[in-house]
Structure 1
Amino acid sequence: MTKYRRTNRLSRAVRIAGAATVTTVATGLFSTGAANADVFVPLPDGQKYGPGVTLTHVGERAVISPSLAANGAGRVVWVTGNAIADVSVTPEGTIGPTNGPGNAPGTNNSSTHGVSQISTGYVVGCQVSIADDAISAGVSGGVNVSGASLGGSIGLQLGPGEVRFVSLDYKDILKPGVYAVEYQDAEIQVQGCAGYAQARSYTVVEIIGDDYSKTTLYGMPFSIG
């Protein structure tokens, strides 16, 4: 179930995230002693500052299971988290693609087509380390599927060395304030990857206007088997 929350101040969890950062990742089995037990992965909170925005990701966790296909090349991960943007500067309402404030450079550089926006999802790779340099190298393709946390499932076919961006959800930012996109047990199925696979969260905030900006926060990479 996807939840959207808009408040006038950051939550207590966000304030805690700003004061301390978890540096280790622990894993545990839901059912000890079972070779194919689900693996629970708690992930650290993160925060990043950008022009006119403080971007925070809290409460992230993943549950990893073998694929029901039982073919050795598939696995399933359920992800949960809360992406929060505290936006102090953005034009109010929607701005057309050619009539932004003053028609200044930067107005038309938004991929959101006229409105500031927060979006969140996951980068998933097969037999490749999903570090910042791998992402920025441009080797990734996109799987633009929204609403997985509403009860659907995202299926990926990944070969060795392939990386995909999976979009979970987004929220338009129509004026300054605090915006959150929360997802719970969003299911991502990976097939075709016989080697190891990794995933990591991403959250992007685009601020439109004369001074266009894009702020991206990546989570910690974790193994999905």
Structure 2
Amino acid sequence: MSENRTSGVRRAVRFAGIGAAASVALGLMSTGAANADTFVPLPDGQKAAPSGTVTITRTGEHALISPSLAANGAGRVVWVSGNAVADVAETPEGTVGPNNGAANLPGSNNSSTHGASHLATGYIVGCQVDIASNAISAGVSGGVNLSGGSLGASVGLNLGPGEVKFVEIDSKDILKAGHYSVEYQDAQIQVNGCAGYAQARAYTVVEVIGDHYSKTTLYGQPFSLG
């Protein structure tokens, strides 16, 4: 088993938009804009692949939510922190290169499989959409990459009613079986243009390449951004 750890946001923060998702009423939290910073503790989670070759664990997740300095009700800022761990018991020893999923077919691109197994973690952010597991697409095709990310980097999202976007906080190639950890602290996400309520939830996805290709996704608890 190998030990691979990352502290902070070591790569570019990037996001990819997806089409409008169906609304599912969850009755989570108040939709009114917060008047002061709000600390939101979030529960730990774990999910194992049916094959037992991958186990994803998320711990220490929390968010700090602030209203926009513009005080117009259409903007919010959230700082998110957490630790995502993937224990991978079996994977081909891939190499970084072109997309290469099962039996040389392209991967799903949710975490941009590119010749090696892959761990990615981030947040799904929606405007006037209750983000339930059955209301979001597991895959994202295309999108925009933001370069120059570093520890404390931030990303701004323009969201209209019914829109959902993926914000990737960090990712890591998995070149052999082992224990992989991605930790992030106070990664900033700014939401602009959403006059209604907004929600977010964490995701962590592990894709394993090869003839027995698999994707395992662990979602966090949805939380209100006001």
Q: TM-score, normalised by structure 2?
A: 0.76
Residue 79 of structure 2 is matched in structure 1 by 78
1:168-207 equivalence runs, <5 A: 168-207=169-208
Question: Does the 8 Å contact 1:120/1:202 carry over to 2?
Answer: yes
CA-CA distance at 1:108 after TM superposition: 2.9
Is the contact between residue 62 and residue 82 of structure 2 (CA under 8 Å) also seen in structure 1?
yes
User: Whose helix fraction is larger, Structure 1's or Structure 2's?
Assistant: 1
- Asked if the contact 1:206/1:215 (under 8 Å) is kept, the reply is yes
Q: Which residue is 1:161 aligned to?
A: 162
Provide the rounded CA distance (Å) in 2 between the counterparts of 1:49 and 1:76. 32
Change (3 A) 1:96 1:210: farther
Q: Is the counterpart of residue 135 in structure 1 residue 132 in structure 2?
A: no
TM-score for the superposition, normalised by structure 1: 0.77
Stretch of structure 1 that moved more, 122-131 or 133-142: 133-142
Within 5 Å, give how 1:145-160 maps onto structure 2: 145=146, 150-160=151-161
Q: By how many angstroms is 1:90 displaced?
A: 0.6
RMSD: 2.9
Q: Deviation at 1:176? A: 0.5
Matches within 5 A, 1:97-108: 97=98, 105-108=102-105
Tell me the SS of whatever aligns to 2:207.
strand
Answer yes or no: is the 8 Å Cα contact 1:140–1:162 preserved in 2: no
Alignment match, 2:6: 4
Please name the residue that 1:38 is paired with: 37
Aligned to 2:69: 68
Structure 1 residues without counterparts, runs of 5 or longer: 6-24, 27-34
- Shift in Å at residue 136 of structure 1? 3.1
Is 2:220 the partner of 1:219? Answer: yes
In the TM superposition, what is the alpha-carbon distance from 1:106 to its structure 2 partner? 3.6
For 1:167 and 1:86, locate their aligned partners in 2 and report how far apart those are by CA, in whole Å.
Answer: 20
2:93 aligned partner, one-letter code: E
Matched positions, count: 193
Cα distance, 1:153–1:96 mapped onto 2, change above 3 Å: closer
Decide whether aligned partners of structure 1 residues 105 and 161 sit closer, same or farther in structure 2, where only a CA change above 3 A counts. closer
Q: What's 2:106 paired with?
A: 109
Q: How far, CA to CA, are the matches of 1:208 and 1:220 in structure 2?
A: 28
The answer as to whether partners of 1:126 and 1:159 remain within 8 angstroms in 2 is: yes
Give how far 1:144 is off. Answer: 4.4
Cα shift at 1:92 = 1.6
User: Per the alignment, do residues 95 and 171 of structure 1 end up closer, same or farther by CA in structure 2, a change over 3 Å counting?
Assistant: closer
User: Residues 201 and 219 of structure 1 are in contact (CA less than 8 Å); yes or no, is this contact kept in structure 2?
Assistant: yes
Q: What is residue 14 of structure 1 aligned with on the other side?
A: none
Change (3 A) 1:48 1:170: same
Classify 1:40/1:221 alpha carbon distance in 2 versus 1 (closer, same or farther; 3 Å): same
- Structure 1 consecutive aligned stretches of length 4 or more whose deviation exceeds 6 Å: 137-141
Percent identical:
71
Deviates more, 1:48-57 or 1:175-184: 48-57
Q: Are positions 1:90 and 2:91 aligned together?
A: yes
Structure-2 change in CA distance of 1:105 and 1:152 (3 Å): closer
SS at match of 1:55: strand
The answer for unaligned runs of 5 or more in structure 2 is: 8-27
- Structure 1 CA distance, aligned partners of 2:138 and 2:177? 33
CA distance in 2, matches of 1:109, 1:139: 13
Partners of 2:41 and 2:200 in 1: how far apart?
13
